[in-house]
């Protein structure tokens, strides 16, 4: 247990000292601030957003942003956490540690998922504070609590859908394959929406739930709701299996 906690702490230190950590924190703060300023009319044009220009509409817009931008942002986090070990040629050093390969991969998965969760929460907090500062109509603690429930669900789904990127980064031994996989999932989600089968494509589910793809969330069945979690489970199993059985030399 102590060895695994040490590996977890090492991953946290590597992340904290990286540029990715600070860039992602900055982006998570600036993006909702800009949206709040546009909603209030202080920046840009309110016509850029559809629907009501109030707190309810702002919460919906945050959900749309996390459902669409999260696939790219969180995917990059998982890609960096695993791909950099191959790019920097440090994977052999990790495997030389007195810890199982499962433990090394699990530590990286947990740290990546935790960072994504922190970024999502930070984005919501920054957005809520901005909405209060610009005195957006309908702002209240009740509205924030109601909006956070849907936002947290979307964030969890996006994190689950991003986990397979770690598998692709490990199998591809770098950044190119996982980033290509992220773009492919976005294309597949858009293509599925055009064919009317979006509810059966895991990466299209966040768009349906957030309303970014229309009012189709009411038609989602149990299978559609479970697909993101099944995808995340497959990503975890694939990543752990690759680190355990694949030749890393």
pLDDT > 70? residue 7: yes
pTM tops 0.85, yes or no: yes
Buried b (16+ CB within 10 A) or exposed e, 222-248: eebeebbeebbeebbebbbebbeeeee
Pick the residue with more confidence: 137 or 145?
Answer: 145
Joined together, the tokens standing for residue 213 give 């793809």
Buried b (16+ CB within 10 A) or exposed e, 205-216: bbbbbbbbbeeb
Domain boundaries, the chain: 2-245
Split at pLDDT 50, 70, 90, the class of 167 is very high
């Amino acid at each position: 247990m102590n060895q695994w906690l040490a590996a977890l702490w090492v991953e946290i230190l590597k992340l904290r000292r990286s540029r990715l950590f600070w860039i992602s924190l900055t982006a998570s703060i600036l993006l909702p601030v800009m949206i709040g300023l546009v909603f209030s009319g202080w920046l840009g044009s309110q016509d850029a957003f559809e629907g009501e220009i109030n707190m309810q509409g702002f919460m919906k817009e945050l959900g749309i942003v996390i459902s669409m931008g999260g696939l790219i942002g969180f995917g990059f986090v998982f890609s960096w956490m695993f791909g950099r070990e191959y790019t920097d040629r440090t994977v052999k050093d990790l495997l030389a540690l007195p810890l199982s390969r499962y433990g090394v991969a699990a530590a990286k998965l947990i740290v990546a998922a935790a960072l994504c969760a922190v970024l999502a929460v930070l984005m919501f907090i920054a957005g809520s504070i901005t909405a209060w500062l610009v005195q957006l109509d309908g702002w209240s603690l009740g509205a924030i609590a109601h909006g956070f429930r849907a936002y947290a669900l979307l964030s969890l789904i996006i994190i689950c859908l991003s986990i397979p990127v770690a598998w692709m980064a490990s199998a591809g031994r770098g950044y190119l394959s996982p980033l290509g996989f992220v773009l492919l999932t976005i294309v597949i989600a858009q293509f599925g929406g055009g064919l009317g089968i979006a509810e059966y494509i895991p990466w299209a589910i966040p768009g349906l739930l957030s309303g970014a793809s229309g009012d189709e969330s009411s038609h989602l069945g149990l299978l559609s709701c479970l697909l993101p979690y099944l995808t995340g489970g497959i990503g975890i199993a694939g990543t752990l299996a690759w680190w355990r059985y694949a030749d890393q030399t």
